[in-house]
Amino acid sequence: RATSNHKVKETVALELSYVNSNLQLLKEELEELNSSMDVYQNDSESISVPMIPLGLKETKELDLLVPLKDFISEHYGEEGVLFEKEIKEFMELRQAMRTPSRNEAGLELLMEYYNQLYFLDSRFFPPTKTLGIFFHWYDSLTGVPSHQRALAFEKGSVLFNLGALHTQIGARQDRAALPGLNQAIDAFQKAAGAFNYLKENFSNAPSLDMSAASLTMLVRLMVAQVQECVFEKMTLLRAQNDFLARLQLAQEAARVEDVYSLVHQTMSQPHVKDYVPFSWTAMVQVKSEHFKALSHYFAAVALCDCPAPSDAELLEQEKAFLQFHVTMPEGPSLRVLLQDPEERRKLGKAHLKKAIMKHEEAMRIHGLCKILRKMDILQEVLSFAHKRSLSKYSEIDHEEDFFETGEAPDIHPKTHQKPEIKSPNFSQVKVTDLFHRLGPLSVFSAKNKWYPARRVHLMRGENGFGFTLRGDSPVLIAGVIPGGCAAEAGLKEGDYIISVNGKDCKWSKHAEVVQLLKSTGKEGVDIGVITLQGSEYPKAADGKAAVMSSGSGMPKSNKENSRKSLMNSKSASTLLVWSKRSKRSKKSTYGGVPFTAVGDNEAMY
């Protein structure tokens, strides 16, 4: 025990309580700032219900110069200092992606960095070793810091920011016009796709904003905002005052209420409830009540403002109205209801009564949240909708009405445009491997290990150099003739040629290496080779030198040694024994080097 003095204990406890209360207050203020909706809304004078955007995750600067230079020296056997330019270029790209602009250029910047992380992962992050680099990121809502050595955390955080940036772009669109609505729909659908991709392909995230429960909530929130935009789009496109158009508007509004109710249920789950800002929960509740009110309002307008159908219209309206309510309203038959103006007015009055109740509930919830109370435009939207329903109710309410207004049945939710979750299209932004000079990724990667590079000097003998070649970038020694010059110099089948007479050949095509070897004179040739560790080279099935084909053991995803380039290469099946008189060695064999494609599904540790 630090002390047994009771008074000291009480003093310390009081001070700790004071510190904790201050920390909690700061946390709440930070949460309020990070969950702000006002800052990302559009500046249009039109009145639209505000959308919920996300702030970007922030990160610390990262100095990769020393770790990557050391890895290049140790793993690749190259001078790390020669790659300083590439390392600095990557660091500059990372620095730029911390503050992307809220437009297409910002999205492309994040996507470019995300795609470069694939190459960084393949080049510098072996499966059994870490570089000792910590990636620091802050929670987008609480600001709580998290760090991990896993590059998957960096990838996931960038992907989260891609989704968050889409939400900001969607929220700032002018939804009073059709182009703005279409752009908002597209942005929120892409945001949903980014969060969904993150949820399905990354796990064990250290921050709450990237947990499965939070991402599920975010996907549903984005889908709800898409549905809201679809409703707004319908109000623009279907401005005509016919009966069926208003029924469709009512069902669209009911659909928006339905999806926001699902979002609110998700926000109320144990793992999410204490994390989601109260302003978000309140906004979702307000929207749920608001759109339920709108659905009943448009139902009432359809019944009260539209004339009774003609005989030609009756069948179509009957069919639509049959699927309009969740339960059929009490009273006369459907045909009588549609043709009798008084019955239509009674049901319309019931719908308006429910609409007014829901408007008032939306305004009550709005008044409970300090942040929402500051949003003048939201207050204006709710107040306008409420007054409009009251005005319509006064218009159809008659003094001689002695009947009791019944309970209007709920409206069946239906939409003509279902939201689409659009996954990120990573191929949309083309990038070039910054560390291209290290060699083709299929061989020169972090997961492959090789023995130290060797330099051998070959003199052309009577039977030539005594080896066969296969493939491109890098060219492989497919077979070595026993007793030949190559065998005596220590060349082995499975060696990769990385240089000829000091010229780097890692990216050289088959024909280029052949030409370099053919051009050597009596002085011979210096060849640099490497041998992969743990590779086995089985004998060819027919006992002859294997020829390069689509079945050479390389996957379809191997870009450096693509099937097309190998099939089209004239030298791909050429047996190169360096003498015109020599014949193909029946002992020459070749086995494919095992390659593995990098998958999308990653875990954070």
Q: What tens digit of pLDDT does each residue of 207-257 get?
A: 999 999 999 999 999 999 999 999 999 998 876 678 999 999 999 999 999
List, for residues 493-526, the tens digit of each pLDDT value.
889 999 998 899 999 998 899 888 888 877 888 9
Residue 253 φ/ψ, nearest 5 degrees: -65, -40
CB crowding 221-242: b at 16 or more within 10 Å, else e: bbbbbbbbbbbbbbeeebeeee
Q: With 90 as the cut, is the pLDDT of residue 39 above it?
A: no
- Asked if 49-210 and 448-573 have one fold, the answer is no
pLDDT at 581 over 80: no
Q: What is the mean pLDDT of residues 335-351?
A: 88
Average pLDDT of every residue of the chain? 83
* Gap between the Cα atoms of 161 and 198, Å rounded: 11
Chain segment 384-415, per-residue pLDDT in tens: 999 999 999 999 887 666 566 678 899 999 99
Residue ranges covered by each domain of the chain: 49-210, 238-424, 448-573
Pairing assessment for the beta strands 202-203 and 602-603 based on DSSP bridges: parallel
pLDDT score at 568: 38
pLDDT confidence bin for 431, thresholds 50/70/90: very high
Q: Identify the pLDDT of residue 429.
A: 94
Q: HSE, CB side, 13 Å, CA atoms: give it for residue 412.
A: 13
Over residues 69-102, the pLDDT tens digits come to 999 999 998 899 999 999 999 999 999 999 999 9
Contact 372, 49 (CB under 8 A): no
186-195: pLDDT as tens digits: 999 999 999 9
Nearest by Cα to 306 from 251, 246, 355: 246
**DSSP secondary-structure letter at 362?**
H
pLDDT score recorded for residue 22? 66
| pLDDT > 60? residue 590 | no
Identify the DSSP state of 533. T
CA 191/CA 165 separation, integer angstroms: 8
> What does the pLDDT read at residue 489?
86
Class of the CATH domain delimited by 49-210: mainly alpha
Please tell me the pTM assigned to this model: 0.81
Q: Which amino acid is at 25?
A: L
What are the pLDDT digits (tens) for 96-132?
999 999 999 999 999 999 999 999 999 999 988 888 8
Beta bridge partners of 479: 468
Over residues 251-297, the pLDDT tens digits come to 999 999 999 999 999 999 988 998 999 999 999 999 999 999 999 99
CATH of domain 448-573: 2.30.42.10
Q: Is the pLDDT of residue 45 over 70?
A: no
- Among 67-71, 165-169, 484-488, which stretch is predicted with the lowest mean pLDDT? 484-488
570: DSSP letter: G
**Largest Cα–Cα distance of the chain, in whole Å?**
120
pLDDT at position 42: 59
Residue found by looking up tokens 């593995």 in the block: 596
Q: What is the DSSP string of 198-263?
A: HHHHEE--SSGGGSHHHHHHHHHHHHHHHHHHHHHHHHHHT-S--HHHHHHHHHHHHHHHHHHHHH
pLDDT at 18: 73
